[in-house]
Amino acid sequence: MKPIKAHVLFYGRVQGVFFRAYTEENANKLGIKGWVRNLPDGSVEAVFEGPEEAVNRLIYLCRYEHPHARVENVKIEYGEPEGFREFKIRY
Protein backbone atom coordinates (compact mmCIF):
# COMPACT_ATOMS: atom_id res chain seq x y z
CA MET A 1 0.00 0.00 0.00
CA LYS A 2 1.33 3.42 -0.97
CA PRO A 3 1.96 5.77 1.97
CA ILE A 4 0.05 9.02 2.30
CA LYS A 5 0.97 12.37 3.85
CA ALA A 6 -1.36 14.45 6.00
CA HIS A 7 -0.50 18.01 7.03
CA VAL A 8 -2.63 18.60 10.13
CA LEU A 9 -3.43 21.62 12.30
CA PHE A 10 -5.03 21.01 15.70
CA TYR A 11 -6.86 23.89 17.41
CA GLY A 12 -8.15 24.15 20.96
CA ARG A 13 -6.42 23.37 24.24
CA VAL A 14 -3.48 21.55 22.67
CA GLN A 15 -0.45 23.24 24.21
CA GLY A 16 0.76 22.67 27.75
CA VAL A 17 -0.95 19.26 27.94
CA PHE A 18 1.86 17.01 26.54
CA PHE A 19 0.13 16.92 23.15
CA ARG A 20 3.40 16.67 21.19
CA ALA A 21 4.76 13.86 23.39
CA TYR A 22 1.46 11.96 23.08
CA THR A 23 1.56 12.41 19.31
CA GLU A 24 5.16 11.23 19.08
CA GLU A 25 4.49 8.16 21.25
CA ASN A 26 1.48 7.11 19.18
CA ALA A 27 3.20 7.87 15.87
CA ASN A 28 6.03 5.54 16.84
CA LYS A 29 3.56 2.81 17.89
CA LEU A 30 1.77 3.10 14.54
CA GLY A 31 4.90 3.36 12.40
CA ILE A 32 4.15 6.93 11.31
CA LYS A 33 6.97 9.23 10.19
CA GLY A 34 6.99 13.03 10.21
CA TRP A 35 6.96 15.72 12.89
CA VAL A 36 4.89 17.79 15.30
CA ARG A 37 5.39 21.32 16.68
CA ASN A 38 3.66 24.08 18.61
CA LEU A 39 2.72 27.25 16.74
CA PRO A 40 2.72 30.78 18.20
CA ASP A 41 -1.10 31.06 17.89
CA GLY A 42 -1.60 28.19 20.37
CA SER A 43 -2.31 25.51 17.78
CA VAL A 44 -0.23 22.42 16.99
CA GLU A 45 0.99 21.58 13.49
CA ALA A 46 1.96 18.08 12.38
CA VAL A 47 2.91 16.09 9.31
CA PHE A 48 2.08 12.38 9.35
CA GLU A 49 3.35 9.95 6.71
CA GLY A 50 2.53 6.28 6.52
CA PRO A 51 -0.20 3.82 5.53
CA GLU A 52 -3.58 5.55 5.18
CA GLU A 53 -5.20 3.51 7.97
CA ALA A 54 -2.38 4.33 10.42
CA VAL A 55 -2.37 8.04 9.53
CA ASN A 56 -6.13 8.25 10.03
CA ARG A 57 -5.83 6.36 13.34
CA LEU A 58 -3.22 8.83 14.60
CA ILE A 59 -5.39 11.80 13.64
CA TYR A 60 -8.29 10.18 15.51
CA LEU A 61 -6.17 9.50 18.61
CA CYS A 62 -4.89 13.07 18.71
CA ARG A 63 -8.34 14.55 18.17
CA TYR A 64 -10.45 12.37 20.47
CA GLU A 65 -8.31 10.24 22.79
CA HIS A 66 -5.77 12.61 24.39
CA PRO A 67 -6.55 12.58 28.12
CA HIS A 68 -5.97 16.32 28.73
CA ALA A 69 -6.29 18.12 25.38
CA ARG A 70 -9.55 19.57 24.09
CA VAL A 71 -9.34 19.66 20.31
CA GLU A 72 -11.97 22.03 18.95
CA ASN A 73 -11.06 21.96 15.26
CA VAL A 74 -8.77 20.09 12.89
CA LYS A 75 -7.65 21.09 9.41
CA ILE A 76 -6.14 18.40 7.19
CA GLU A 77 -4.46 18.69 3.80
CA TYR A 78 -3.27 15.57 2.00
CA GLY A 79 -0.28 15.54 -0.31
CA GLU A 80 2.61 13.51 -1.64
CA PRO A 81 4.87 11.92 1.01
CA GLU A 82 8.28 13.52 1.46
CA GLY A 83 9.99 10.37 2.76
CA PHE A 84 10.62 11.17 6.42
CA ARG A 85 12.73 8.52 8.16
CA GLU A 86 11.48 9.06 11.74
CA PHE A 87 8.99 11.00 13.82
CA LYS A 88 10.30 14.05 15.68
CA ILE A 89 9.09 16.82 17.91
CA ARG A 90 10.20 20.10 16.37
CA TYR A 91 10.98 23.08 18.58
Question: Using one digit for the tens of pLDDT, what is the confidence trace for 14-30?
Answer: 999 999 999 999 999 99
**φ and ψ of 59, to 5 deg:** -60, -45
Q: Which pLDDT belongs to residue 1?
A: 73
- Looking at residue 47, its amino acid is V
Catalytic residue among 20, 63, 70, 85: 20
Of residues 48, 55, 45, 53, the one with CA closest to residue 75: 45
Question: Using one digit for the tens of pLDDT, what is the confidence trace for 71-91?
Answer: 999 999 999 999 999 999 999
Q: Is 20 a catalytic residue?
A: yes
Q: Is 26 a catalytic residue?
A: no
Residues 6+ apart with CB under 8 A from 41: none
Indicate the pTM of the whole model.
0.96
Catalytic residue among 13, 37, 38, 56: 38
Q: Which pLDDT belongs to residue 2?
A: 83
CA distance 78 to 46: 12
Domains of the chain: 4-89 (3.30.70.100)
